[in-house]
Amino acid sequence: MATVNEVIDTTIDDPGNRTPLVIGGHNYGSVTELVCRINESKTPIAWYIAFAVSLMTLGMFGSLIGYLVFTGVGVWGNNNPVYWGFPIVNFVFWVGIGHAGTLISAILFIFRQNWRTSINRFAEAMTIFAVACAGVFPAVHIGRVWVFYWLFPIPSLQLSMWPQFRSPLLWDVFAVSTYATVSVIFWYTGMIPDLATLRDRTKNPILRIVYSVLSLGWTGSARKWSRYEKAYTLFAALAAPLVLSVHTIVSFDFAVSQLPGWHTTIFPPYFVAGAVFSGFGMVLTLMVPARQIFGLQDVVTKRHLENVCKILLATGSMVGYAYAMEFFIAWYGGNLMEQFAFVNRAFGLTPWAYWVMVSCNVISPQLFWFKFCRTTPWVMFVVSIFVNIGMWFERFVITVTSLQRDFLPSSWGEFVPTWVDYGMLVGSFGLFFTLFLLFVRFGPIVAMAEVKSVMAHPHHDIHDIPQGDYHDDEVDH
Amino acid sequence: MAQESNNSDQKLIGLMAQFDDPDSLLVACEKVRKAGYTKTDAFTPFPLHGIDEALGIKPTILPWIVLSLGIIGGTAGLALQYYTNAFDYPFMISAKPTFSLPANIPVIFELVILHAAIAVFIGMLALNRLPTFSNPLFRVPEFARATDDKFFLTVDINDPSYKPNKTRELFDGFRGQTAVLEVYEDPSEANLPPVIKIVGLCAIVIALIPPLLLWKAYNSTSTVPRINPIRDMDVQLRADTQTTMPSDIFADGRAMRPRIPGTVSRSDSLDTEFVTGIAADSDEQNVVFLQEEDKPAEPAAEEPAEEKPAEEAAEQPMAEAPADGQAPAAAPAEENEPNWVKIAPIKVTQSTVERGQKRYNIYCSVCHGLAGDGDGLVSQRAIEREQPTWVPPTNLHTDYLLTQPDGKIFNTITHGIRKMKGYGDQIPPEDRWAIVTYIRALQKTRTGTESEIPAVELKELEIKGQ
């Protein structure tokens, strides 16, 4: 039996022993305490400072959107021939980050990776906020935001026509809006039992009402758990292919066009790998400090982080393979335009962007071959920042270099971002962190019910109970 | 405890046992089920494996609901794409078929997932009868830990097997049980207070007003211009014809700006004769550029109409138009008649006349007719339809026109006359003069004599004539 002070190194692989997912000798009550303490303790000053900064950045984002809407898309650097500039780069960047949460919740659930329970809530919240950030960019990129509903097949007398369903851009509308909807209800469904825990603990009457309404009167009834569990499994089964479809369809936006550098069949798997890579990168960026700040080392152990690092190593290498394969196919395919497009990426107008991308995405995760790097939080944090930067540049390189240099030199041009472009990129982080800080303050950031279900039974070992008792047919009658 | 003393007059609705660990709960569940109880439930902080079997919980029908909704979603996705893109509004793009299944798969897929996921969520809540905010269990203080670290088992008092003493005995005998609690009916009003209902109803009614107004506006006609919150390009900062500018832009409210005094337009030729058709003499050479402000104090007597600004020149022929029974008192007009150029001030060649013919056929013939008889198609149709306001175009072969100086015809083309609009903006001056020469050529076809035809051509005509 583990005592509270006993330190277990969960990063040691002992085939004879299943590594505990929660260390520090916790029981059910202390897990509740550990997680709810984050919400119930006095709000730290640091939170207020961080929130104020995020809110100001969000305010800037809102003002820039207002400026954009009232002035027009000319405030961006988008112009012939680079009509897809920062807005689409930012969209793909954020929607990629938004892949980790649902992937952890759905695919790791299906593969019975129980370690996901410690980080899934956190990652799902991150997913939803990232998708929210992603959704802003195509919405404002359409120019006339007030007729955004034309994207959907809604009968409109003004337009008197329907959307074009054979366009990948419309598939994107369906994919991203479905993904956002499903992620939100999946996340919320997962939170209902934990919101009930907060409801039953809180002393604050206002929060009690809020948590009561949000937890829908959840009691933890076994009959309800039974349907809930089935629902959760169904969600996972539906969300797993959905996660893979979303970035596949995002990649179609590029791959279905005929532009050299975009028109490649490798895009769907390459984009999905990149999305998982960037999503897990962002999970690490947020999880490493959060675990430290909120004292969650017992629930989010080094083994959890190590697993995330291994996923980063795997997906980062897949992305590296895709980069290499793009070059190989450009040469092997014998298409001069394609060859030019890729040589231009690496050595053309913005070679620094390409090499930032390669070094951040392919080289930096290779550190995770070393166990020291996989188990040292500050190394992971630094690498995760590199991954975030690299993945933004990947989208920048794909989008901008191909548009700048297409088939005819007469239609070449250069992309110069404006201050509004930079402001909106920074501002989207304001939206992300504002939502995130609100969530860590008021929401259950660890899925307590799920963690408890994968914990080793603390006080009782199941073998302590006489088998006869459990299967006794003749009790008291 | 205070709680227990209050309970004495309330109706008991169930018995509840508390456990500290899940395994004791599972054992107790098994016992309760074996004892024949059916109205039972267990409460745990997390889903407990094996409890479905222990308690005898039947599998849920949720997957079937989800499957049906998924099929509906997929069918709807296919039907939507067929209806919108192949039937109601066929898009022809690069000669691709309007309906092609591969291109429709992504949207079908997404709609299957969307419908199924919403079915999971709504179905799970509906089958679980959530949300339920009122529950007598919440009145048991110990029950707050059901979402934390305690495990509970309840038996409903309405259970056929329930017998007060026997059930209590069973509960007391559970291994690992830490307390046996009684659950009493919730005496508080189960329904929402009427105030909340009324407020809610009012809120719904008020919330319905805007969509209803929108619906009404959408389906009815109105003489009031529509409200246009986002103006797009419907409203622009510009003056349309027959409108005034907002006075904060120009004090006089005029949309057409007069020229700044003393300036010359780049497009204006300095050759007055050429651009106005009025013969120049020393006093009048700047006539086109004169602005109202530049006018000499008493123009009427000494220098009659010549100095009127170009814009006003349009009115002038109208005022003196004598044709077709509309002729006003001609006497004063005759006096004000400018000194028209007699002969077109251009070099007339064969190509000039041909150019004039082309321009005439384009701009003039629709009304005046190809031969200049005033019987163009527009006119024919107007007469056929008995248009009351139609003024028939002038026959170019009348004496009135035969005797007019070239300059005056040029001026009429430039500024229009009666119903005829001015063509000065569309036809450059050299082409207007070309048209004048062509009109003269047309007139010659009726007035010309044999002696005016060159001998060679006369011969040819005679040959053709025979």
Tell me whether B38 touches chain A (CB under 8 Å): no
| Contacting A residues, span 130-149, partner chain B, CB-CB under 8 Å | 144, 146-147
Distance of residue B357 Cα from the nearest chain A Cα, in angstroms: 43
Contact between residue A357 and residue A393 where contact means Cβ atoms under 8 Å apart: yes
Side-chain half-sphere exposure of A116, counting CA atoms within 13 A: 21
Residue of A nearest to B67 (CA): A234
Answer whether residue A274 shows pLDDT above 90: yes
Contact between residue A267 and residue A276 where contact means Cβ atoms under 8 Å apart: no
Q: What is the pLDDT of residue B62?
A: 94
Q: What is the pLDDT of residue B270?
A: 67
Q: Of residues A387 and B373, which shows the higher confidence score?
A: A387
Contacts of A34 in chain B (CB under 8 A): none
Q: What is the pLDDT of residue B452?
A: 78
Please work out, in degrees rounded to the nearest 5, the angle formed at the alpha carbon of residue B188 by the alpha carbons of B187 and B193.
Answer: 155
Exposed, middle or buried, B124 (CB in 10 Å: 0-12/13-18/19+)?
buried
Hey, are the CB atoms on A216 and B130 less than 8 Å from each other?
Answer: yes
Q: What is the pLDDT of residue B289?
A: 43
DSSP string, A233-259: HHHHHHHHHHHHHHHHHHHHHHHTS--
Q: Which helix (H) or strand (E) segment is A469 a member of?
A: helix A467-470
| Contacting A residues, span 15-54, partner chain B, CB-CB under 8 Å | 27-29, 32
- Report the helix count and the strand count for chain A, using DSSP H and E: 19, 0
Amino acid at A283: V
Q: What is the pLDDT of residue B292?
A: 44
Averaged pLDDT, A189-209: 91
Tell me whether B76 touches chain A (CB under 8 Å): no
DSSP string, B356-420: HHHHIIIIIHHHH-TTSSS--HHHHHHHHTT-TT--PPPPTTSHHHHTS-HHHHHHHHHHEETTE
Distance, CA of B424 to CA of B432 (rounded, Å): 8
Hey, are the CB atoms on B118 and A465 less than 8 Å from each other?
Answer: no
With H, G, I as helix, E, B as strand and everything else as coil, classify residue B184: strand
Q: What is the pLDDT of residue A424?
A: 95
Q: In angstroms, what CA-CA distances link A49 with A130, A426, B19?
A: 22, 18, 44
Nearest Cα to A384, choosing from A365, A410, A358?
A: A365
Exposed, middle or buried, A19 (CB in 10 Å: 0-12/13-18/19+)?
middle
Q: What is the pLDDT of residue B320?
A: 39
Contacts of A212 in chain B (CB under 8 A): 133
Tell me whether B239 touches chain A (CB under 8 Å): no
Contacts of A162 in chain B (CB under 8 A): 84-85, 88-89
Tell me whether B47 touches chain A (CB under 8 Å): yes
Cis peptide before B131 (omega within 30 of 0): yes
Hey, are the CB atoms on B57 and A153 less than 8 Å from each other?
Answer: no
Distance, CA of B64 to CA of B128 (rounded, Å): 16
**Of B23, B46, B80, which has the smallest distance from its Cβ to A462's Cβ?**
B23
Contacts of A196 in chain B (CB under 8 A): 147
Distance of residue B181 Cα from the nearest chain A Cα, in angstroms: 16
Residue of B nearest to A167 (CA): B103
Distance of residue A100 Cα from the nearest chain B Cα, in angstroms: 18
Q: What is the pLDDT along chain B (466 residues), one digit of tens a residue?
A: 334 445 556 788 888 999 988 888 999 999 888 888 888 899 999 998 888 888 888 999 999 999 999 999 999 999 999 999 999 988 888 888 888 899 999 999 999 999 999 999 999 999 999 888 888 888 888 888 888 889 999 999 888 888 888 888 888 888 888 888 888 888 776 677 788 889 999 999 999 999 999 888 878 888 887 777 777 677 777 777 777 776 677 777 777 778 788 887 776 666 777 887 787 664 544 444 444 444 444 444 444 434 444 444 444 444 334 444 443 433 444 556 778 888 888 888 889 999 999 999 999 999 898 888 888 898 889 888 888 888 888 888 888 888 888 888 898 898 888 888 889 888 888 899 999 999 988 888 888 777 777 888 778 877 776 6
Residue of B nearest to A248 (CA): B106
Q: How confident is the model at residue A343 (pLDDT cuts 50, 70, 90)?
A: very high
Contacts of A181 in chain B (CB under 8 A): 114, 117-118
Distance of residue B213 Cα from the nearest chain A Cα, in angstroms: 17
Token readout for B189 is 């009003």
Tell me whether B90 touches chain A (CB under 8 Å): no
Task: Count the Cβ atoms, other than its own, within 10 Å of residue B94.
Answer: 5
Distance of residue A373 Cα from the nearest chain B Cα, in angstroms: 35
Q: How confident is the model at residue A2 (pLDDT cuts 50, 70, 90)?
A: very low
Nearest Cα to A105, choosing from A236, A274, A246, A277?
A: A236
For chains A and B, CB pairs below 8 A equal 233
Contact between residue A401 and residue A341 where contact means Cβ atoms under 8 Å apart: yes
Q: What is the pLDDT of residue A298?
A: 87
Tell me whether B215 touches chain A (CB under 8 Å): no
Answer whether residue A252 shows pLDDT above 70: yes
Averaged pLDDT, A349-374: 93
**DSSP symbol at B147:** G
Q: What is the ipTM of this complex?
A: 0.90
Contact between residue A361 and residue A394 where contact means Cβ atoms under 8 Å apart: yes
Please work out, in degrees rounded to the nearest 5, the angle formed at the alpha carbon of residue B148 by the alpha carbons of B137 and B38.
Answer: 45
Hey, are the CB atoms on A178 and B63 less than 8 Å from each other?
Answer: no
Residue of B nearest to A235 (CA): B117
Tell me whether A295 touches chain B (CB under 8 Å): no
Distance, CA of A274 to CA of B256 (rounded, Å): 61
DSSP string, B264-327: --TTS-S-HHHHH-B---TTTTTGGG--GGGS-S-HHHHS-GGGS-HHHHTHHHHHH--TTTT-
Distance, CA of A297 to CA of A288 (rounded, Å): 10
Q: How confident is the model at residue A476 (pLDDT cuts 50, 70, 90)?
A: very low
Hey, are the CB atoms on B130 and A218 less than 8 Å from each other?
Answer: yes
Q: Encode pLDDT of A413-462 as tens digits.
A: 999 999 999 999 999 999 999 999 999 998 898 999 888 888 876 444 44
Q: In angstroms, what CA-CA distances link B287 with B133, B282, B313, B410, B429?
A: 91, 11, 11, 16, 17
Q: Encode pLDDT of A86-126 as tens digits.
A: 999 999 999 999 988 888 888 888 888 888 888 889 899 99
Distance, CA of B413 to CA of B364 (rounded, Å): 9
- CB environment B25-43: b (16+ within 10 A), e (fewer): bbbbbbbbbbbebeebbbb
Q: What is the pLDDT of residue A384?
A: 95
Q: How confident is the model at residue A33 (pLDDT cuts 50, 70, 90)?
A: confident
Exposed, middle or buried, A312 (CB in 10 Å: 0-12/13-18/19+)?
buried
Exposed, middle or buried, B176 (CB in 10 Å: 0-12/13-18/19+)?
buried
Token readout for B183 is 């659950």
Structural domains of chain B sorted by starting position, each given as residue range(s) with its CATH number in brackets: 12-184 (no CATH), 350-464 (1.10.760.10)
Contact between residue A400 and residue A85 where contact means Cβ atoms under 8 Å apart: yes
